[in-house]
Structure 1
Amino acid sequence: MKISSGSRVLVTGAASGLGLALVEQLAGRGARVLATDVHADAPTDLAALAGVAYLTLDVTDDTHWARARDWVVEEWDGLDFLFNNAGVAAGGRIELTEMDQWQWIVDINLLGVARGCRTFVPMLKEQGTGHIVNTSSAAGLVHPPRMSEYNAVKAAVVALSETLLHELKPFGVQVSVICPTFFKTNLTASMRGKDESAQASAAKMIDGSSRTAGDIAAVALAQVEKGTHIILTDREGRIGYFAKRFLRPVYYGQMAKAAVRMGRKD
């Protein structure tokens, strides 16, 4: 399904990072975009884009999702693409991860996606067309140590996306899931947790990446248009994913070495 001039697109987590990059590139293609985020007003970067409307949307709030659906019905009478992109970061050793941190990341990264799908699937099924694009992570496919809560919710997003791929195919609705590795973003600003060494390691990999959110968005949109289900945006992600599938003993060995290296740094 092509993203073209006039395509109706909703993006969550649109104020920064990958969400903002997606909105910029979608607007550049002439799409009509409803950019959403938790801010009360549109940030400057969004407000300056032609063809982009803004709506406050907390992905953990059912009333916000209902309001977004009503906006789409009233303004567009339908939706072509739903990008469930909003997310936060967390990580650390399991004994240092408190349960309120688990609840926080589950509510946003998993249930936020589930709420978005649940809200718009009836509309897309009735239309007989549409494309849901959920943002997960390479951590949803391969599971490094000291990232238990992040790995778990991102893996759940992959599972949800595959379930919907099969469930919605008879209704003409497509589903993709974006699985990038580390890229330059402000995700570390949202990071929580008591394991400071784990957070420092993650920040180093994010800040040290040569990839930008714009790079990831460009690959993702090209693959969405091709109808790709699991979108691997970079070489490292492809290596990890296929190593796990076809060279599992090697994959396990590398993960064990990573755990030992991390332990020596603490």
Structure 2
Amino acid sequence: MARVLVTGGAAGLGAALADAFAARGDEVVVADRREVSGPHDALRLDVTSEADWVAALDWVERTWGGLDVLVNNAGVAGGGRLEVCSAQEWRDVLEVNLMGAVLGTRTFTPLLKRQRAGLVVNVASLAGLVHPAGMAAYNAGKAAVVALSETTGHELAAYGVRCAVVCPSYFRTGLVDDLQVTDAALGGVMRQLVAEAPLGPDEIAAAVLEGLDRGDELILPDPAARAAYELKLRDRAAYDETMRRQAARLHALGGDPA
């Protein structure tokens, strides 16, 4: 039985992951800045707050005496074309999506090293591997989470600690319900892609746990993510052409903001 902390666990993929771990008999604490309802233990945690992370570590040590799985899942959607996305929008996206994972990892690393065991799971996105137009802030943050994850795995391997990064494509989630972006054209595209996605969070969560059980360090939990990444690796020219066609469609929708 593993002891698992899931950030951003009040809804969406975080809630689905918490339920999936618990269904296997694991002990789960859900951490979120929103109120958490459900059968799991809950912590109030703003992933951008170092003080909140210290409090979460204290709770884990007092309650469980250790941690087996840290899931850095909390995230926000955002972005916009290069000259439309504001500097504040960049900061907001990076503060949650990147620094949330950074703070969680650095807070729990001493504990994991002392245990000489553990698993860090960072939920990034396909956008961390392939980079559509209009999403520079989101792409950059998620790509940084991929880099953070690889570095974490290398740095902590000698202590028996593993790290995996999850990179799903679009799936049905409430992440875009509160989407507020200056670039209205991008916002419309993102909402449509989420609404039309074939998979929901429960299916993604099940695929994530299967990947973790295999020991995968990079988990592409849905066919669309695997196909897009494979195209980039196999045929860079075709990948670039696909991305540029997508950029042209976004321009046609939003006009030239310059």
Does 1:121 find its partner at 2:112? Answer: no
CA distance in 2 between partners of 1:29 and 1:120 (Å): 23
| Number of the residue aligned with 1:136 | 124
Contact 1:96 1:193 in 2 (8 A): no
- Structure 2 matches for 1:171-250, cutoff 5 A? 171-250=159-238
- Structure 2 matches for 1:14-163, cutoff 5 A? 14-39=9-34, 41-43=35-37, 46=38, 49=39, 52-163=40-151
Instruction: Note the residue ranges of structure 2 that are not aligned, 5 or more in a row.
Output: none
Instruction: Note the residue ranges of structure 1 that are not aligned, 5 or more in a row.
Output: 1-5
CA distance in 1 between partners of 2:216 and 2:48 (Å): 28
Q: Secondary structure at the match of 1:224?
A: helix
Residues 100-158 of structure 1 show CA distances to partners (whole Å, capped at 9, x for unaligned) of 11111111000000000001011111111100000000000000000110000000000
Q: Secondary structure at the match of 2:240?
A: helix
Instruction: Give 1:193 shift.
Output: 1.4
Q: Which amino acid in 1 is paired with 2:129?
A: L
Task: Detail structure 1 runs of 4+ shifted over 3 Å in the superposition.
Answer: none
Instruction: Give 1:192 shift.
Output: 2.4
Instruction: Give 1:71 shift.
Output: 0.5
Q: Which amino acid in 2 is paired with 1:35?
A: V
Q: Which amino acid in 2 is paired with 1:198?
A: L
Contact 2:79 2:90 in 1 (8 A): no
CA distance in 2 between partners of 1:238 and 1:71 (Å): 37
Q: Secondary structure at the match of 2:164?
A: strand
Q: Secondary structure at the match of 1:126?
A: helix
Q: Secondary structure at the match of 1:133?
A: strand
Instruction: Give 1:225 shift.
Output: 1.5
Q: Secondary structure at the match of 2:132?
A: coil
Contact 2:3 2:28 in 1 (8 A): yes
CA distance in 1 between partners of 2:153 and 2:233 (Å): 20
CA distance in 1 between partners of 2:143 and 2:179 (Å): 18
Instruction: Give 1:256 shift.
Output: 1.1
Q: Secondary structure at the match of 2:98?
A: helix
Residues 60-96 of structure 1 show CA distances to partners (whole Å, capped at 9, x for unaligned) of 0011000000000001000000000000000211111
Contact 1:91 1:192 in 2 (8 A): no
Instruction: Give 1:190 shift.
Output: 3.1
CA distance in 2 between partners of 1:13 and 1:250 (Å): 36
Instruction: Give 1:236 shift.
Output: 1.3
Q: Which amino acid in 1 is paired with 2:66?
A: G
Instruction: Give 1:42 shift.
Output: 2.5
What is the count of residue pairs matched by the alignment? 254
CA distance in 1 between partners of 2:245 and 2:204 (Å): 28
Q: Percentage identity across aligned positions? A: 42
CA distance in 1 between partners of 2:21 and 2:57 (Å): 20
CA distance in 1 between partners of 2:42 and 2:80 (Å): 34
Contact 2:168 2:225 in 1 (8 A): yes
Contact 1:17 1:187 in 2 (8 A): yes
Q: Secondary structure at the match of 1:190?
A: coil
